[in-house]
């Protein structure tokens, strides 16, 4: 038998023993590191700024709804999750600064894939995917979010919709965008 080969094998065995001890040391050391776990329901990890969670419908500062009921979001939606039914605004009962507003606005969150195409399609930046991600339902009915659930509260200094506005104050079909970037 080749003595050198035997010695080399023994040396390799010795080295691998050392490597095994190094592995054991690595796992032992990591026991004393701070765990990476978030204790979820109590501690929530903040999401990224551009995270796409549940949709909200925005308002202007004066309380009018941004949505003008154009249903471009519904047209853009690849999952066919959005249903919009528009109705005419009047100066006595004004919901949005445009010609029309969304009388019914429903998103089926079971169909929604959170792609954000509705956000891109919206001409008035009315629909935005915000940071709410805790979406669980106990029935299919509950998964359909209506306008009342989606719309944000009236901001400070604004008036709730429908508003009674002076005649001729809003005469555009689509409100002017301040920053059409």
Which CB, 42 or 134, lies closer to another protein?
42
Q: Which residues fall within 8 angstroms of residue 58, CB to CB, at 6 or more apart?
A: 65, 66, 125, 126, 127, 128, 152
In angstroms, rounded to a whole number, what is the distance separating the alpha carbons of residues 81 and 108? 5
Total residues contacting another protein (rule CB under 8 A)? 14
Q: Which two tokens stand for residue 31?
A: 């026991």
129 near 114, Cβ under 8 Å? yes
- Coil/strand/helix, residue 17: helix
Partners of 65 in beta bridges: 59
- Coil/strand/helix, residue 47: coil
Which CB, 29 or 178, lies closer to another protein?
29
Which CB, 18 or 137, lies closer to another protein?
18
Q: Which residues fall within 8 angstroms of residue 62, CB to CB, at 6 or more apart?
A: 157, 158, 159, 163
CB of residue 32 vs another protein: minimum separation in angstroms? 8
Which CB, 4 or 28, lies closer to another protein?
28
CB of residue 48 vs another protein: minimum separation in angstroms? 23
CB of residue 57 vs another protein: minimum separation in angstroms? 37
Per-residue interface string for the shown chain with another protein, residues 66-95, x marking contact by CB under 8 A: ------------------------------
CB of residue 15 vs another protein: minimum separation in angstroms? 16
In angstroms, rounded to a whole number, what is the distance separating the alpha carbons of residues 83 and 102? 10
Per-residue interface string for the shown chain with another protein, residues 13-52, x marking contact by CB under 8 A: -------x--xx-xxx-xx-xxxxx-x-------------
CB of residue 5 vs another protein: minimum separation in angstroms? 15
* Site residues, another protein (CB under 8 A): 20, 23-24, 26-28, 30-31, 33-37, 39
């Amino acid at each position: 038998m080749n003595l050198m080969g035997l010695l080399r094998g023994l040396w390799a065995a010795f080295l691998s023993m050392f490597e095994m001890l190094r592995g054991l040391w690595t796992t032992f050391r990591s026991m004393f590191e701070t765990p990476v776990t978030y204790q979820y329901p109590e501690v929530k990890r903040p999401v990224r700024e551009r995270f796409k969670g549940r949709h909200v419908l925005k308002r202007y500062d004066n309380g009018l709804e941004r949505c003008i009921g154009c249903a471009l979001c519904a047209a853009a939606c690849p999952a066919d999750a959005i249903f919009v039914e528009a109705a005419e605004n009047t100066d006595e009962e004004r919901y949005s600064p445009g010609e029309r507003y969304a009388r019914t606005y429903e998103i089926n969150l079971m169909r929604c894939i959170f792609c954000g195409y509705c956000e891109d399609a919206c001409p008035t930046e009315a629909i935005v995917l915000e940071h709410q991600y805790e979406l669980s339902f106990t029935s299919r009915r509950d998964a359909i979010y209506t306008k009342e659930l989606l719309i944000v509260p009236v901001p400070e200094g604004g008036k709730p919709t429908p508003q009674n506005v002076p005649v001729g104050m809003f005469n555009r079909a689509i409100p002017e965008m301040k920053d059409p970037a």
